[in-house]
Amino acid sequence: MHDRSLAAATALCSGIKESTLASAAATATKDLKQSGSRYFGRDLRRSVVPSDSVFPEVELAEDDAVVCSRVTPDGGGEVVAWCKIRRGGDVSAATIWNLRCEPLKTGNRQSGHGLDAIIVDGRVIQQEAVDIKPGSEIVPGPQKDGYLLYTFDITGLND
């Protein structure tokens, strides 16, 4: 199942350049404003926001969205599918999965963290699902150094 999800996400993101991503994010924002999630009559927008404003915010247009974005500041504009975020039962919650996971192995035993692990609120994530909330910090790599930092955000909750 994981391999199919990763293959589908990779196909979805293959060949996407940063300018295309920004255009797609603008279209998704427009679509969300027209038909977005509703919470007691208010529009809710879910996104992952990079700490560096040079990079575009990634809107999560669906309740079960694959995040396609840059993972490193010097990646040459390469956009990859690196996680999936699913809206939770509570409007202020969600669950995140790492789509880049390939654990390092020595024989039949895992040794350390895979090169494609991600960090969620300081915890290294490989294959497990993790609950997140607004303000959760997400690093699309196994360490903070050399990777972008994103924050999960839901706008419209406190309006």
Residue-number span of the structural domain to which 126 is assigned:
2-155
Q: Is the pLDDT of residue 5 over 70?
A: no
What pLDDT is stored for residue 107 in this prediction? 44
Band of pLDDT at residue 10, cut at 50, 70 and 90: low
Q: Is the pLDDT of residue 20 over 70?
A: no
Q: Is the pLDDT of residue 39 over 50?
A: no
Buried b (16+ CB within 10 A) or exposed e, 7-16: eebeeebeeb
Residue with the larger pLDDT of the pair 2 and 91 = 91
- Which CATH number do you get for residue 144? 2.60.200.20
Q: What is the mean pLDDT of the chain?
A: 75
What pLDDT is stored for residue 23 in this prediction? 55
What pLDDT is stored for residue 82 in this prediction? 94
Is the pTM higher than 0.75? no
Work out how many domains the chain is built from and give that number: 1
Q: Measured between alpha carbons, how far is 126 from 22 in angstroms, rounded to an integer?
A: 28
Over residues 72-89, the pLDDT tens digits come to 998 777 899 999 999 888
